[in-house]
Amino acid sequence: MAKIGVMGAGTWGVALAKLLYDNHHQVTIWSATEKKIDELRQTHAQKNLPGFILPGDIKLTKELSECVSDKDILIMSVASAYTRSTAARLKNLIPNGQVIVAVAKGIEESSLMTQTEILEDTLCGVRACVLSGPSHAEEVSIGLPTSCVIGSRSKSLAENLAEVFSSQFFRAYTSPDVKGIELGGSLKNVIALAAGIADGLGYGDNAKAALITRGIVEITRLGTAMGCSPFTFYGLSGIGDLIVTCASMHSRNRRAGILIGKGYTYEEAMEEVQQVVEGVYSAKAALKLSQIYKIEMPIVEEVNQILFGGKSAKEAYLALMNRDLRDEHGDMQWEEV
């Protein structure tokens, strides 16, 4: 049995807390929003997780030190925009070599760091890992079958964490490509916004399939330029997560995109969804990375134009459709006849 502290009481944090509790681990949940802890204590429910009941034996605390002290594993499940500030509060609370699993998906706009890079930048000696894949909290929380991938530089640590998380309903694979896993998990949210916008415009299944397919091409181009394995992007944290986020109404990015396609601003869409829409925060970072590494990412460019450049959704999609014609795979050879 492992002692585990979960930082963040949003849907994903409490869903993972229940998974880990059901796997016979000792779990403590903390939230910077004290109201969330009060609500969980009173109702044992999470308003965005239908049918979810939090077991009474899971400890709930408003004190960060109580959540993280003397724990084998910490789960960083705060929204990605708050990872750095939360990590800074851990400096005098955790030992050197503490294992922390990042489960939020996002790239920091100012530094262009992934979640594990933020942890390593803020906390000296931390053993930062990542859990990612097609894993809506709504399904994990009620025990529907799910598969994810755990990324770590250490094979033994990744395998240990896979044992901790895995159950008859949750299967964890392992990978050493930490950055690739995090890029896939972050950038797919930008493509999911695009897919949702297409839905909001009423463009149908063909358009969405094209966005998913060309979206994974853009993500793979950037990821391989940054030194990641292309295989990662054809795996659970790449195409797997992209498909589920573009296709499901559980996806807050897709839901926000639908509203934007109908004419909402991204601020109005986020207010309507009432959850953090990570794709909005990752869009600028994705564009900056594409410029740094000189990678063509037209979908990412047009999403940024819709969100921040005043371009209408319809104009952006026309721009994508009217780009110069080209080979689908530029490295293939033609046989002249």
Q: Which residues are catalytic?
A: 188
Residue 252 Cα distances to 133, 166, 231, angstroms: 15, 25, 27
Q: Are 58 and 17 in contact (CB under 8 A)?
A: yes
> What CA–CA distance (Å, rounded) separates 302 from 318?
10
Which phi and psi (to 5°) does residue 237 adopt?
-85, -5
Q: Is 49 helix (H, G, I), strand (E, B) or coil?
A: coil
Taking every pair of Cα atoms in the chain, the longest distance, rounded to a whole number of angstroms, is: 75
> What CA–CA distance (Å, rounded) separates 171 from 205?
30
Burial of 25 (0-12, 13-18, 19+ CB in 10 A): middle
- Residue 24 is which amino acid? H
Sequential DSSP letters for 124-170? TT-EEEEEESS--HHHHTTT--EEEEEE-S-HHHHHHHHHHH--SSE
Residue 225 Cα distances to 111, 221, 233, angstroms: 18, 6, 13
Smallest CA-to-CA distance from 59 within 72, 41, 36 is with 41
Q: What is the DSSP letter of 238?
A: I
Q: Is 320 helix (H, G, I), strand (E, B) or coil?
A: helix
